Structure 1
Amino acid sequence: MNQHIWTVTEAKARLSELLRRADEEGPQRIGTRRGYRLVSEAQWQRLQTSRPAMGRWLLEHMPASDPLEIPSRAEPVPDNPFDHGDAR
């Protein structure tokens, strides 16, 4: 992909073409030392789509099941099935 990199001076002088290319060809790179990208409004809106928080997503996509039974704090702590008794 051989994309044209606009110098700042060139971008100022040819703003209309820069805007047209951003719309037709996609993001345009401006600057060689400090790079910038010019994107069309449509592409910017696609990039700004909000996503739900991870917790909300998990709740919405979690398979339905029976409610979890929360043990009472008064009950003794059950044995840890991963504890093999070998101290390391």
Structure 2
Amino acid sequence: MGAYLPRWFMKPQHVNPQKALLIHKDLAATRSYATHWGTYQPAAESLKQTREDLTSAKRCAAKDKDEQLKALAIGETKTIIRD
């Protein structure tokens, strides 16, 4: 999720926050972590726009819980323990 603007050019390679949320739901994932965003600006969206667009997409999808699809902070690591 990142480097997604302009959509006409970036759509074949990169997903935007709205599409990432749809992918998360289509897979019936219990949690997803967005990566590949905010480290440098290779496309038209600003570095902070991705997080803002994800927040907006979540608001539009009222049933989504905030913790289900997260955008990790730059440099953040996440340990996932499978049951």
Greater relative contact order (Cα < 8 A, sep 6+): 2
Give the TM-score normalised by the residue count of structure 1: 0.22
Higher fraction of helix: 1
Which structure has the greater CA radius of gyration? Answer: 1
